[in-house]
Amino acid sequence: MSTLAVYPGSFDPLTNGHVDIISRGARLFDRIIVSILVNAEKAPLFSMEERVEIAREVFKDQRNVEVDTFHGLLVDYVERRGAHVIVRGLRAVSDFEFEFQMALMNQRLNPRIETVFMMPAEQYTYISSRLIKEVFSLGGRVHGLVPELVELRLREKQLAPRGA
């Protein structure tokens, strides 16, 4: 039996921490679906299309990584996709409370689905999409913290006129 896992998130934008977890998941499971939540934030920096395009490009050579979008309840989506595993990354104790709540709520909503937590490599434990956006918008260097394509797209956004 092959194991299909779903790695859900906002990915606004994809960071090297996400990439690390996805690569670990791709080694552990037969197939992993990077599932991007539609409408996670009212005003995301990257549109859904941009986030999908970035993730597909970054994982284009990894045959067991798929990129998809979802809306509504995560457990319903996971079931629809025929998966039984949700992968979430745990960076620090600060992540634990929210992740614990989500895992238990999802377990209650659908006891057939298991949440599996994975730790990223140490050098990524402090990275978050929110911090990347903040640091970049204030002129800080994000090189090495996000895929090169994300860095490029961030720079393009900085150069583009507002609303473009």
- Binding string, residues 1-40; x marks residues near ligand PNS by CB under 6 A: -------xxx--------------------------x--x
The correct pick among 33, 34, 51, 106 for binding ligand PNS (CB under 6 A) is: 106
Q: State how far the alpha carbon of 161 is from the alpha carbons of 15, 34, 47, 108, 164, in Å.
A: 24, 31, 16, 46, 6
CB 1 → ligand PNS: shortest distance, Å? 25
CB 150 within 8 A of CB 13: yes
Residue 120 interacts with ligand PNS (CB under 6 A): yes or no: no
CB 73 → ligand PNS: shortest distance, Å? 4
The correct pick among 45, 52, 90, 102 for binding ligand PNS (CB under 6 A) is: 102
Kindly report the number of other CB atoms within 10 A of residue 42's CB atom.
5
> What are the backbone angles phi and psi of residue 55, rounded to the nearest 5°?
-65, -40
Residue 74 interacts with ligand PNS (CB under 6 A): yes or no: yes
CB 51 within 8 A of CB 12: yes
Kindly report the number of other CB atoms within 10 A of residue 151's CB atom.
18
- Contact set with ligand PNS (CB under 6 A): 8-10, 37, 40, 73-74, 102, 105-106
